[in-house]
């Protein structure tokens, strides 16, 4: 592997990790007053699009550890944002649904996601944004093929 490929790989990994940490901090600071931390807000938005999804769905969708998802789901239930129901077809599995409180917090979460995106794309035009999404999508697809 040549020096240029090594440097690209190092920079790419560093930037992805850096962006992820900044996003976590940004969202964590803004959603702390709602009791939300870590990936909990992402679970709420995913459940909005996939009502009744299982905890395994969240594990696979977000490439997360089962234990972390289970703990977060339990905490979201304690906070009143979701309800967990035992799956009628598989009693070992829970299906997750947003509660009325969970529905109420979605606009707040979405506003912060939009604010974060606006910060990231500051100084970029529409073509730049579309190109960035296209490249990141291709990278995610490539990563998923080899995961």
- Residue 99: which residues within 8 A CB-CB, separation 6 or more? 80, 81, 82, 83
In whole angstroms, give the CA distance from residue 29 to residue 54: 28
pLDDT, one tens digit per residue, over 69-123 is 999 999 999 999 999 999 888 888 889 999 999 999 999 999 999 999 999 999 9
Give the CATH number of domain 3-145.
Answer: 1.10.10.10
* pTM for this prediction: 0.88
Domain boundaries, the chain: 3-145
pLDDT, one tens digit per residue, over 37-74 is 999 999 999 999 999 999 999 999 998 999 999 999 99
């Amino acid at each position: 592997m040549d020096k240029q490929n090594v440097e690209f790989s190092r920079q790419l990994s560093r930037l992805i990790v850096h962006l992820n940490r900044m996003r976590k901090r940004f969202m964590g600071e803004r959603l702390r007053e709602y009791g939300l931390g870590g990936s909990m807000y992402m679970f709420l938005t995913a459940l909005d699009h996939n009502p009744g999804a299982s905890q395994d769905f969240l594990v696979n969708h977000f490439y997360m550890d089962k234990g972390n998802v289970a703990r977060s789901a339990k905490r979201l239930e304690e906070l009143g944002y979701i309800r967990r129901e035992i799956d009628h077809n598989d009693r070992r599995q829970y299906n997750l649904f947003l509660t009325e409180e969970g529905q109420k917090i979605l606009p707040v979460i979405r506003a912060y996601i939009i604010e974060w995106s606006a910060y990231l794309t500051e100084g970029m035009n529409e073509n730049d944004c579309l190109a960035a999404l296209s490249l990141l999508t291709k990278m995610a697809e490539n990563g998923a093929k080899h995961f």
